[in-house]
Amino acid sequence: MDRRFVFILVALAVIIPMLLSINLPVSVSEPTQKFYDYVEALPAGSTIMIAFDYGPSSLAELNPMAKALLKQCFDRDIRVIAITLIVDAPTLASAVIQEVATEKGAVEGEDYVFLGYRPGQVQVMLGMGTDIASVYDTDYNGTAIGEIPMMQNITNYDQIDLLVDFASSDTVESWIIYANVRYNQRIAAGVTGVIIAQMFPYLQTGQLVGLLSGILGAAEYENLVGAPAKGMQWINVESFVHLLIVGLVIIGNITYFIHRAREE
Amino acid sequence: MDFWSFIGIWVAAFLTLSIYSVLYRDNPFYRFAEHLFVGVSVGYGIVLSIYQGLVPFALKPLWETVETGAPEGFIKLIPICIGLLFFARLSPRHTWLIRYPIAILIGFGSGIAIPNVLRANIFEQTRGTIAPFAEIAAGTLSGWGIFEAVLMVVGVICTLTYFFFAVEHRGPVKWLSKVGIAFLMIGFGSAFGNTVMGRVALLIQRVDFLLNDWIASIRALF
Amino acid sequence: MKRQVPLVLCFVFGIVMILTQFSPHSVSQWVYEEVISWVLIIGPFALVLATVTLIQTHTARIRRRTEHWQYSFVVFAGLIIMVLIGIFFTPQNSVFEWLYNNVQLPMDATMFSLLAFFIASAAYRAFRARTFEASLLLITALIVMMGNVPVGDFIWNKVLFWTPWEDGVSWWRQWILDNPNLSARRGIILGVSLGVISQSIRIILGIERSYLGGGD
Residue A171 neighbours by CB under 8 Å, 6+ apart: A51, A53, A85, A86, A121, A165
CB contact under 8 A, A56 and C151: no
**Domain-ending residue, one of C64, C98, C126:** C126
- HEC string for C65-81: CCCCCCHHHHHHHHHHH
Of all residues in chain A, the percent with pLDDT exceeding 90 is 94
C-chain residues within 8 Å CB-CB of A255? none
CA–CA distance, C109 with C128 (Å, rounded to integer): 30
Judge: B200–A238 Cβ closer than 8 Å, yes or no: yes
- Report the residue from B112, B186, B205 with minimal CB separation from C181: B186
Q: In chain B, whose CA is at the least distance from the CA of C137?
A: B189
Q: Is the pLDDT of residue B222 over 80?
A: no
Percent of chain C with pLDDT over 70: 97
- Reported as a single tens digit per residue, the pLDDT across A128-176 is 999 999 999 999 999 999 999 999 999 999 999 999 999 999 999 999 9
Where is B37: in which H helix or E strand? helix B28-49
CB-based contact (8 Å) between A126 and chain C? yes
Rounded-to-integer distance, Cα C72 and Cα C59, Å: 8
Question: Which position has the higher pLDDT, B208 or B219?
Answer: B208
3-state secondary structure of A160: coil
Q: What is the pLDDT of residue C1?
A: 75
Cα–Cα distance, C142 to C156 (Å, whole number): 13
In a domain, A14, yes or no: no
How many domains, in total, are found in chain A?
A: 1
Boundary-marking domain end, from C126, C149, C182: C126
Give the CATH number for residue A215.
Answer: 3.40.50.10160
pLDDT, residue A90, reads 96
In a domain, A1, yes or no: no
User: For residue C215, is pLDDT > 70?
Assistant: no
* Local confidence band at C165 (pLDDT 50, 70, 90 cut-offs): low
Mean pLDDT, chain B, as a whole number? 92
- Residue A9 within any structural domain of the chain: no
Which residue range forms the structural domain that includes residue C94?
90-126
**Whether the predicted pLDDT of C167 surpasses 80:** no
Q: Which amino acid, B48?
A: L
Task: Determine contact: C119 vs chain A, CB below 8 A.
Answer: yes
Quick check: is C160 in a domain? Answer: yes
Is A203 domain-assigned? yes
Contacts of C87 in chain B (CB under 8 A): 47, 50
Q: Examine residue C152 and state whether it is found in any structural domain, yes or no.
A: yes
Contact between A120 and C44 using a beta-carbon 8 Å cutoff: yes
pLDDT band at C59 (very low <50, low <70, confident <90, very high): very high
Note whether residue A55 is domain-resident: yes
Tens digits of per-residue pLDDT, B70-109? 777 788 889 999 999 999 888 888 889 999 999 999 999 9
* C133 and C202 fall within a common domain: yes
Instruction: Give kind and range of the element (H or E) at residue A164.
Output: strand A162-167
pLDDT surpassing 80 at residue C216 = no
For residue A219, pLDDT over 70 is answered with yes
- B158 touches B176 (CB < 8 A): yes
Q: Would you state the pLDDT for residue A1? A: 66
According to the model, what pLDDT value does residue C211 have? 84
What is A5-54 written as a DSSP string?
HHHHHHHHHHHHHHHHT--------HHHHHHHHHHHHSPTT-EEEEEEE-
* Residue C64 within any structural domain of the chain: no
> Do both C153 and C96 map to the same domain?
no
Taking phi first (over 0 means left), then psi (-120 to 50 degrees means alpha), and beta for anything else, what does residue C23 get?
beta
Query: Which residues form the domain of A183?
Result: 27-236
Contacts of B84 in chain C (CB under 8 A): 45
Stretch B114-140: mean pLDDT, rounded?
93
Average pLDDT over residues A3-17: 94
| Dist CA A155 CA B142 (whole Å) | 45
Q: Of C70, C98, C126, which residue constitutes the final position of a domain?
A: C126
The angle that helices B172-208 and A214-225 make with each other, rounded to 10 degrees, is: 60
For residues B133-154, give the mean pLDDT: 91
The answer on C157 and C138 residing in a single domain is: yes
Pick from A116, A118, A122: which is nearest to A92 by CA? A116
Distance from CA of A112 to the nearest CA of C (A): 18
Nearest C-alpha in A relative to B40 = A88
ipTM above 0.90, yes or no: yes
> DSSP labels for C32-74?
HHHHHHHHHHHGGGGHHHHHHHHHHHHHHHHHHT-TTTTHHHH
In a domain, C137, yes or no: yes
In a domain, A175, yes or no: yes
The per-residue pLDDT for range A92-137, each reduced to its tens digit, is 999 999 999 999 999 999 999 999 999 999 999 999 999 999 999 9
> Of all helices (H) and strands (E), which one includes residue B33?
helix B28-49
> Cβ contacts (< 8 Å) between C114 and chain B: which residues?
19-20, 22-23
Q: Which residues of chain C make contact with B187, given a CB cutoff of 8 A?
A: 180-181, 183-185, 188
Of C43, C117, C170, the CB nearest to A10: C117
Same domain assignment for residues C99 and C160: no
* Local confidence band at A88 (pLDDT 50, 70, 90 cut-offs): very high
In a domain, C181, yes or no: yes
C58 belongs to a structural domain: no
**Same structural domain for residues C120 and C174?**
no
Tell me how many domains chain C contains. Answer: 2
| Mean pLDDT, range B194-203, rounded to an integer | 96
Please check whether residue A173 lies inside any domain of the structure.
yes
Q: What is the pLDDT of residues B19-46, one digit of tens each?
A: 999 999 999 999 999 999 999 999 999 9
Mean pLDDT along residues C97-115: 96
